[in-house]
């Protein structure tokens, strides 16, 4: 089960701060770190508080905008990529036992991946056999022999 919690405080074109646990952790870490550095260098408390807050806010905002948003987009496209795999050929790298599982190797966009596999009719498929991917459910690849 996946669970995701986030929200934005929206003021027109400018989203203030996404409320996500990772962003909050980044904010607290940077805020504390800059605050310690400022107080160790004999800065006034109010000045240290202000600089720490601004640095933490900017850092957490930029990390969310330029790192987390790209990671979320990549995460959301994986199911779309799996649909493109149906009909592709693969090679059995671990024998698929009767009514059980094995492992296949397939290529996508120049990269090679391994995945758990099961024969669509529950048959045994020997090592090094060529198969075709016919269905993907719950990250299990159902294959048929060629």
Sorted by where each starts, the structural domains of the chain and their CATH numbers stand as 10-76 (no CATH), 83-145 (2.40.50.140)
Give me the DSSP letters along the chain. ---------EETTEE-----HHHHHHHHHHHHHHHHHHHHTT--HHHHHHHHHHHHHHHHHHHIIIIIHHHHHHHHTHHHHHHHHTT-EEEEEE-B-TTS-EEEEEEETTEEEEEEEEETT---B-TT-EEEEEEEETTEEEEEE-
What's the predicted TM-score (pTM) here?
0.50
pLDDT tens for the chain, residues 1 to 146: 555 555 555 555 445 555 788 889 999 999 999 999 998 988 788 999 999 999 999 999 899 888 888 887 766 555 557 788 899 999 999 999 999 999 999 988 788 889 999 999 999 999 999 999 999 998 899 999 98
């Amino acid at each position: 089960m996946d669970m995701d919690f986030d929200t934005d405080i929206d003021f027109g074109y400018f989203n203030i701060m996404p409320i996500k646990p990772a962003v909050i952790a980044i904010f607290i870490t940077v805020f504390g770190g800059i605050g310690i550095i400022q107080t160790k260098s004999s800065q006034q408390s109010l000045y240290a508080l202000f600089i720490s807050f601004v640095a933490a806010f900017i850092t957490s905002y930029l990390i969310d905008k330029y790192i987390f948003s790209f990671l979320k987009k990549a995460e959301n496209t994986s199911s779309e990529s799996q649909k493109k795999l149906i009909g592709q050929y693969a090679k059995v790298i671990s024998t698929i036992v009767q009514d059980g599982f094995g492992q296949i190797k397939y290529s996508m966009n120049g990269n090679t991946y391994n995945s758990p596999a099961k024969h669509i009719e529950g048959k045994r498929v020997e090592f090094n056999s060529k198969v075709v991917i016919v269905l993907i459910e719950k990250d299990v690849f159902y294959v048929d022999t060629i």
